[in-house]
Amino acid sequence: EVQLLESGGGLVQPGGSLRLSCAASGFTFPNYVIRWVRLAPGKGLEWVSAIGGGSDTKYADSVKGRFTISRDNSKNTVYLQMNSLRSEDTAIYYCARVFYETSGNYHGADHWGQGTLVTVSS
């Protein structure tokens, strides 16, 4: 069974740091891109970051320079290091997997974790 399990959320003061983890199981982890998507209170879904199997990384402009995504294929885990946190980063953070075929076809984010809540407040 495919599973994605986020952890590491919590309450942090503005300017602080947190590291989120996304632990995966039930599939060939290195073959998948992992995305982070967040849902802020009263807002819609926002794509945050993504990392490919070869550790190529992408970021939303709102987090570039503050967040760093990485993966450890030996542990089937993706990390999101979040620094210089702001109140606007308050959200539920979800990780999701995406499979891209070599042809360029892809299958969307077909499995998501349950999310982890990050609250940035003094």
Partner 1 sequence: DIVMTQSPLSLSVTPGEPASISCKSSQSLLHSNGHIRLDWYLQKPGQSPQLLIYMGSNRASGVPDRFSGSASGTDFTLKISRVEAEDVGVYYCMQGLQTPFTFGPGTKVDIK
The residues binding partner 1 (CB under 8 A) are 35, 37, 39, 44-47, 50, 58-61, 94, 96, 98, 103-110, 112-115
Q: Closest separation between CB of residue 107 and partner 1, Å?
A: 5
**Closer residue to partner 1 in complex, CB, 13/28:** 28
Strands 10-12 and 116-120: parallel
Q: Closest separation between CB of residue 122 and partner 1, Å?
A: 28
**Closer residue to partner 1 in complex, CB, 46/81:** 46
Q: Helix, strand, or coil here: 66?
A: coil
Q: Closest separation between CB of residue 38 and partner 1, Å?
A: 11
Give the integer Cα–Cα distance in Å for 35 and 78.
9
Give the integer Cα–Cα distance in Å for 87 and 105.
37
Helices (H) and strands (E) in the chain, counts: 0, 11
Q: Closest separation between CB of residue 44 and partner 1, Å?
A: 4
**Closer residue to partner 1 in complex, CB, 13/70:** 70
**Closer residue to partner 1 in complex, CB, 75/107:** 107
Is 85 in contact with 12 (CB distance < 8 Å)?
yes
Query: Phi and psi (nearest 5°) for 46?
Result: -135, 125
